[in-house]
Copies of this chain bind each other. A is one copy, B any other.
């Protein structure tokens, strides 16, 4: 958060906009328009877009506008599979390398989350959840691991956010977080790692349900729209058409 470079700040701004939904998944991200909109030149905007591309939030196409990423279920579950390996490693290393202070800070996050769960909006809550997992990765004392883990979390932001918004999993999430913290405190890798694995297993289940629900919703839309003219069978893959054309000759 403390990087004061201009491309980083632009990337932070864009990331928020993307994740908050200002740009729809699948929409093109025109570097010239966004640059003028934010009042910066194209050069730092280009770098910002590359940063987001590295994080997987946008995908680059040769000689074409970058697109806001709209990953398929398989892509998301593939990402989670790697994330699981990274988090399990983080947990194991954190049991060995974390300082008592770091573990205490992780517990503090967990307790704040428990206390505020029903009191704040899901975006703020999710911020805490994010920090919880990032702190464990950092506590592994393996910077490369922490960095890669953070990149995967960023890439899975939207999916995890949607999953976390399902309040029905509230109790399970808090319980699992509690077990993870207890495992760290006991310096018990089996306990911590096992529960981390469990935690992410449920994330896969949740996400799969969400995709299924979304697909069902779309199918219903299509059929109810009438047989001859399906308005948008696909989720508006390219909603760009505000082509202004001149009236002169």
Q: A residues engaging B (CB < 8 A)? A: 5, 43, 46-47, 50, 54, 62, 75, 78-79, 81-82, 85-86, 88-89, 93, 142-145, 148, 155
Chain A to chain B contacts (Cβ below 8 Å), 15 pairs: A43-B43, A50-B50, A75-B144, A78-B143, A79-B144, A81-B93, A82-B86, A82-B144, A82-B145, A85-B85, A85-B86, A85-B88, A85-B89, A144-B155, A148-B148
Which B residues are in CB contact (< 8 Å) with A155? 144
- B143 & A82 in contact (Cβ 8 Å cutoff): no
How close is A106's CB to chain B, nearest CB, in angstroms? 20
Which B residues are in CB contact (< 8 Å) with A82? 86, 89, 142, 144-145, 148
- A81 & B50 in contact (Cβ 8 Å cutoff): no
Which B residues are in CB contact (< 8 Å) with A144? 75, 78-79, 82, 155
Most chain B CB within 10 A, of A79, A85, A93, is at A85
- A89 & B78 in contact (Cβ 8 Å cutoff): no
Which B residues are in CB contact (< 8 Å) with A46? 47
Query: What separation, in Å, do the CA atoms of A89 and B47 have in the docked complex?
Result: 32
Closest-by-CB residue of B relative to A84 is B89
Query: What separation, in Å, do the CA atoms of A86 and B93 have in the docked complex?
Result: 15
Supply 8 further A-B pairs (C-beta < 8 A) apart from A54-B54, A78-B142, A82-B145.
A5-B62, A75-B144, A78-B144, A79-B144, A81-B142, A82-B86, A85-B86, A144-B155
